[in-house]
């Protein structure tokens, strides 16, 4: 039987059950006298673990009768399969309806109650149990089951020689866990009822069983695995089926294209399938894994086998395999791809397809302009660039057609060898111009392309000094104009419109800018339009500014460097921008990444918060991020945690290394001045009283005294000047006063 047939059979069985329920209810109610108007209804709470009319042994059945206060009824819980014996499990005689026109009853379902579909709750006349007669007011059908039981196979279809893995699971409805061990039996039959395995007994609530199909088995079998499982007492049980197919080996092949160019890649896709139509497998047939594939590629014209094939390929878990190869640069002709699939050494399937290799020349062309935009009266220069495969030397002919992009009027036509064509636009033209080129390579290949250029009487660029504003601020707009022969010296006018397109300011411009003060009640945005006007020609430029809206969060720590265990004193301030309003409460999420995180709630938009740094925190430059939850504002800073460089310590607001560097520069400056001017750069004390100083020696060359042939006296201060060379004449400098003199 096919899968469709089995599904149809299950559907028929379900329909039979539904009809049986209807017949049973009719049988119980058909001959009962009509219920008294005082009885309303019976309601039973759904199962605690299922939410339906399925109940688990051990849970409590809750029943509520709705009728007039003071009425009396008999209630029964029983089991009855249509046309069989009726078994009563619980009776409640003479149930009185209490105040409120309702009465709730309970019945604990025994843990040993046998699983079954045909359990009922019946509500009868108060004399039902005594006389066995009287009306039946209501019936409720319910099911009792301890666990769900299912069986399955790991795949829907198999080849002869494959291993089938059958699994089963008995799962408690109450908690979803496996049921306790019990007694089970597994059987596997073919579609004729012949057993494929001996009956297999098991005790585990979950498990698997593997069976290998004989390689020589009939490859067209609709098999079925079915299993029973019950607890040791036998009252709780389950039954399940798992159908599967045993079919033929089939194979399909396809290439990623029908025609290839030489020197290109070919991809061959092969699919091994488990199918009941081996000559032409269906797309939905399941794949056959582990099948060996041999691909042979032959030249159809010569019959010769090429080197493009492959062997010993193995299909993947989905039954597929791909083979990719490169064609030779000089390849041509028709080729056949032959595929042979082999499984378990004896199951085979074959198929084939063809592809063609031909040298298909390709020609394409691109068009580029020398500018992106043009003004009236300018020449538009377009250049065509051909691309040819295979490459070579070709004589190209270009046919240019220039048309008005708006009206379609033909503006120019030219044909020749020029790859570049220029068209001068009239001085009174604005709009779009289409350049269409057709290229012929002289050997039969053509290509074409159309490109569009934009022409305007001129262009105005409008720039605003701010793109966001708040009430009372001033927006300044400047502009730059590029004209054309059609509008060489225009006058300029402007218009400012609000979000409702109302004109809030307009006029004539005499300079290169204009200013606009934002009202105290600003519009959400303003559009600034500046127009150049001359001789009936108008050029417009636009810019837009929007009202500032949102929130700004600023933070500042009391210092830049900390050690583990210290506390950061963090100052924060939240400001609303534009028409935004601050909330009444603020929620700051403060995170020092790698160290700590905290939440701070406050009603103040500005204040200070202490952020302790835990001992043992990460050290280095850590990111401090503060996020405000009600406004979405965020701020990020960097704090240093751990030992810091002493040179980075601040003195009077400046780093120490800056002070040291400044002192070194100052000292160097003093040394240079000393070197150049000696003691003269310092104030001199008055000389002590005494005999007058000897007059300076006469000017002219100074001769070394006989007692010291390598020293001379300074003419300025009289101090000796040591000379370390005998070279004469020589110019020397006094180390005491810095004066220079010539020594002969």
**pLDDT tens for residues 108-160?**
999 999 999 999 999 999 999 998 888 999 999 999 999 999 999 999 999 99
- Based on the domain organization, do 383 and 495 belong to the same domain? no
What is the reported pLDDT for 739?
Answer: 76
What is the reported pLDDT for 32?
Answer: 45
Q: Which residue has the tokens 């002919």?
A: 397
- At 9, the pLDDT band (50, 70, 90 cuts) reads very low
Residue 158, domain member (yes or no):
yes
Average pLDDT estimate for 634-648: 81
pLDDT in tens, 552-567: 999 999 998 999 999 9
From the CA atom positions of the chain, what is the Rg in Å? 51
Domain end position, chosen among 144, 167, 193: 144
Average pLDDT estimate for 632-653: 76
Could you give the CA distance from residue 20 to residue 27 in angstroms, rounded to a whole number? 10
Could you give the CA distance from residue 75 to residue 129 in angstroms, rounded to a whole number? 9
Q: Give residue 200's domain range.
A: 148-246
Residue 670, domain member (yes or no):
no
- At 1, the pLDDT band (50, 70, 90 cuts) reads very low
Residue 646: DSSP 8-state: G
Could you give the CA distance from residue 288 to residue 272 in angstroms, rounded to a whole number? 5
DSSP-derived pairing of the beta strands 221-230 and 183-189: antiparallel
What is the reported pLDDT for 30?
Answer: 43
Residue 699, domain member (yes or no):
no
Could you give the CA distance from residue 75 to residue 175 in angstroms, rounded to a whole number? 31
Could you give the CA distance from residue 496 to residue 522 in angstroms, rounded to a whole number? 13
Domain end position, chosen among 191, 220, 246: 246
Distant-in-sequence, close-in-space partners of 644: CB < 8 Å, separation ≥ 6: 561
pLDDT in tens, 486-503: 999 999 999 999 999 999
pLDDT in tens, 61-83: 999 999 999 999 999 999 999 99
The distance in angstroms from the start CA to the end CA of the chain is 134
What is the reported pLDDT for 5?
Answer: 35
What is the reported pLDDT for 731?
Answer: 73
Q: Of the ranges 150-159, 444-453, 682-691, which one carries the lowest mean pLDDT score?
A: 682-691
- At 8, the pLDDT band (50, 70, 90 cuts) reads very low
Of the candidates 238, 144, 175, 148, the residue with the CA atom closest to the CA atom of residue 49:
175
- Based on the domain organization, do 605 and 558 belong to the same domain? yes
- Based on the domain organization, do 132 and 22 belong to the same domain? yes
What is the reported pLDDT for 706?
Answer: 44
Asked if 74 and 104 count as a contact pair (C-beta separation under 8 A), the reply is no
CA atoms lying within 13 Å on the CB side of residue 254: 8
- At 462, the pLDDT band (50, 70, 90 cuts) reads very high
Could you give the CA distance from residue 731 to residue 263 in angstroms, rounded to a whole number? 87
Could you give the CA distance from residue 504 to residue 501 in angstroms, rounded to a whole number? 9
- Based on the domain organization, do 404 and 535 belong to the same domain? no
For the chain, the residue count is 744
Percent of the chain with pLDDT over 70: 87
CA atoms lying within 13 Å on the CB side of residue 198: 2
pTM score, whole prediction: 0.55
- Based on the domain organization, do 20 and 74 belong to the same domain? yes
Q: SS3 for 19?
A: helix
E strand or H helix at 658 = helix 656-677
- Based on the domain organization, do 241 and 290 belong to the same domain? no
What is the reported pLDDT for 677?
Answer: 57
What is the reported pLDDT for 713?
Answer: 80
Average pLDDT estimate for 538-546: 95
- Based on the domain organization, do 447 and 496 belong to the same domain? no
- Based on the domain organization, do 230 and 283 belong to the same domain? no
Q: What is the mean pLDDT of the chain?
A: 88
Higher pLDDT, 364 or 660: 364
- Based on the domain organization, do 274 and 346 belong to the same domain? yes
Q: Which residue has the tokens 């496996």?
A: 178
CA atoms lying within 13 Å on the CB side of residue 167: 6
Given a cut of 80, whether residue 715 has pLDDT beyond it is no
What is the reported pLDDT for 362?
Answer: 84
Given a cut of 80, whether residue 701 has pLDDT beyond it is no
Residue 705, domain member (yes or no):
no
- Based on the domain organization, do 513 and 420 belong to the same domain? no
Q: SS3 for 21?
A: helix
What is the reported pLDDT for 122?
Answer: 97
Residue 596, domain member (yes or no):
yes
pLDDT in tens, 274-296: 999 999 999 999 999 999 999 99
- At 712, the pLDDT band (50, 70, 90 cuts) reads confident
CATH of residue 524's domain is 2.60.40.1930
Asked if 194 and 186 count as a contact pair (C-beta separation under 8 A), the reply is no
- Based on the domain organization, do 375 and 451 belong to the same domain? yes
Given a cut of 60, whether residue 36 has pLDDT beyond it is no
> Cα–Cα–Cα angle for 177, 178, 179, nearest 5°?
115
What is the reported pLDDT for 663?
Answer: 78
Residue 700, domain member (yes or no):
no
Residue 687, domain member (yes or no):
no
Peptide bond connecting 729 to the previous residue in cis, omega within 30 degrees of 0: yes
Higher pLDDT, 471 or 359: 471
Structural domains counted in the chain = 7
What is the reported pLDDT for 538?
Answer: 94
- Based on the domain organization, do 465 and 436 belong to the same domain? no
Q: Where are the alpha helices (DSSP H) in 220-278?
A: none
Given a cut of 90, whether residue 680 has pLDDT beyond it is no
Of the candidates 219, 220, 200, the residue with the CA atom closest to the CA atom of residue 210:
200
pLDDT in tens, 519-532: 999 999 999 999 99
Residue 703, domain member (yes or no):
no
DSSP-derived pairing of the beta strands 620-628 and 586-592: antiparallel
Domain end position, chosen among 546, 568, 584: 546
Q: SS3 for 22?
A: helix
> Which residues make beta-bridge pairs with 349?
341
């Amino acid at each position: 039987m096919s899968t469709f047939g089995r599904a149809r059979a299950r559907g028929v069985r379900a329909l039979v059950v539904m009809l049986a329920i209807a017949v049973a209810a009719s049988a119980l109610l058909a001959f009962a006298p009509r219920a008294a108007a005082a009885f309303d209804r019976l309601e039973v709470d759904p199962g605690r673990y299922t939410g339906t009319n399925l109940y688990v042994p051990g849970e409590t059945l809750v029943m509520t009768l709705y009728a007039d206060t003071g009425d009396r009824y008999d209630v029964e819980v029983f089991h009855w399969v249509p046309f069989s014996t009726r078994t009563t499990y619980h009776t409640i005689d003479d149930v009185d309806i209490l105040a409120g026109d309702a009465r709730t009853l309970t019945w604990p379902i025994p843990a040993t109650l046998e699983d079954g579909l045909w359990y009922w709750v019946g509500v009868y006349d108060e004399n039902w149990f005594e006389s066995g007669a009287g009306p039946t007011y209501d019936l409720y059908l319910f099911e009792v089951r301890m666990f769900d039981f299912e069986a399955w196979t790991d795949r829907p279809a198999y080849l002869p020689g494959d291993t089938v893995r059958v699994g089963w699971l008995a799962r408690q409805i109450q908690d979803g866990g496996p049921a306790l061990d019990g007694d089970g039996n597994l059987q596997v039959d073919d579609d004729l009822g012949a057993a494929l395995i001996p009956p297999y007994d098991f005790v585990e609530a979950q498990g698997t069983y593997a069976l290998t199909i004989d390689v020589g088995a009939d490859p067209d079998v609709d098999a079925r695995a079915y299993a029973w499982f019950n607890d040791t007492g036998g009252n709780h049980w389950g039954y399940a089926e798992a159908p599967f197919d045993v079919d033929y080996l089939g194979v399909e092949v396809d290439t990623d294209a029908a025609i290839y160019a030489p020197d290109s890649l070919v991809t061959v896709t092969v699919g091994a399938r488990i199918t009941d139509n081996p000559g032409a497998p269906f797309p939905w047939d399941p794949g056959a894994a582990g099948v060996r594939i041999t691909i042979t590629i032959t030249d159809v014209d010569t019959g010769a086998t090429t080197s493009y094939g492959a062997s010993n390929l193995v299909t993947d878990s989905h039954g597929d395999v791909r083979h990719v190869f490169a064609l030779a640069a000089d390849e041509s002709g028709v080729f056949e791809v032959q595929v042979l699939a082999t499984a378990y050494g004896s199951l085979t399937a074959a198929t084939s397809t063809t592809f063609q290799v031909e040298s298909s020349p390709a020609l394409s062309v691109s068009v580029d302009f020398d500018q992106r935009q043009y003004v009236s009266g300018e020449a538009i220069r377009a250049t065509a660039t051909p691309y040819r495969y295979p490459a070579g030397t070709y004589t190209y002919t270009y046919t240019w057609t220039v048309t008005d992009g708006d009206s379609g009027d033909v503006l120019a036509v030219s044909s020749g060898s020029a790859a570049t064509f220029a068209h001068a636009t009239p001085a009174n033209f604005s709009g779009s111009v289409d350049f269409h080129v057709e290229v012929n390579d002289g050997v039969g290949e053509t290509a074409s392309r159309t490109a569009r250029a934009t022409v305007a009487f001129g262009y105005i660029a409008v720039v605003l000094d701010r793109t966001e504003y708040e009430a009372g601020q001033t927006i300044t707009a400047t502009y730059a104009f590029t004209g054309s022969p059609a509008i060489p010296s225009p006058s300029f006018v402007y218009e400012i419109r609000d979000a409702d397109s109302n004109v809030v300011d307009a006029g004539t411009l005499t300079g290169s800018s204009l200013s606009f003060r934002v009202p105290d009640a600003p519009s959400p945005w303003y559009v600034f339009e500046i127009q150049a006007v001359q001789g009936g020609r108008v050029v417009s430029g636009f810019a837009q500014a929007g009202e500032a809206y949102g929130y700004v969060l600023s933070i500042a720590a009391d210092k830049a460097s900390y050690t583990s265990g210290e506390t950061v004193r963090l100052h924060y301030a939240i400001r609303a921008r534009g028409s935004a309003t601050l909330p009444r409460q603020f929620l700051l999420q403060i995170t020092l990444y790698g160290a700590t995180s905290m939440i701070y709630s406050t009603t103040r938009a500005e204040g200070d918060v202490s952020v302790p740094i835990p001992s043992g925190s990460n050290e280095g430059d850590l990111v401090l991020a503060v996020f405000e939850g009600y406004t979405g504002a965020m701020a990020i800073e960097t704090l240093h945690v751990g030992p810091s460089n002493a040179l980075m310590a601040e003195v009077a607001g400046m780093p120490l290394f800056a002070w040291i560097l400044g002192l070194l520069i100052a000292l160097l400056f003093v040394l240079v001045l000393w070197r150049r001017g000696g003691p003269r750069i310092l104030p001199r004390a008055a000389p002590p009283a005494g005999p007058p100083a000897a007059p300076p020696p006469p000017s002219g060359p100074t001769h070394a005294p006989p007692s010291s042939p390598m020293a001379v006296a300074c003419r300025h201060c009289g101090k000796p000047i040591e000379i370390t060379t005998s070279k004469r004449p020589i110019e020397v400098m006094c180390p005491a006063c810095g004066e220079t003199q010539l020594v002969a």
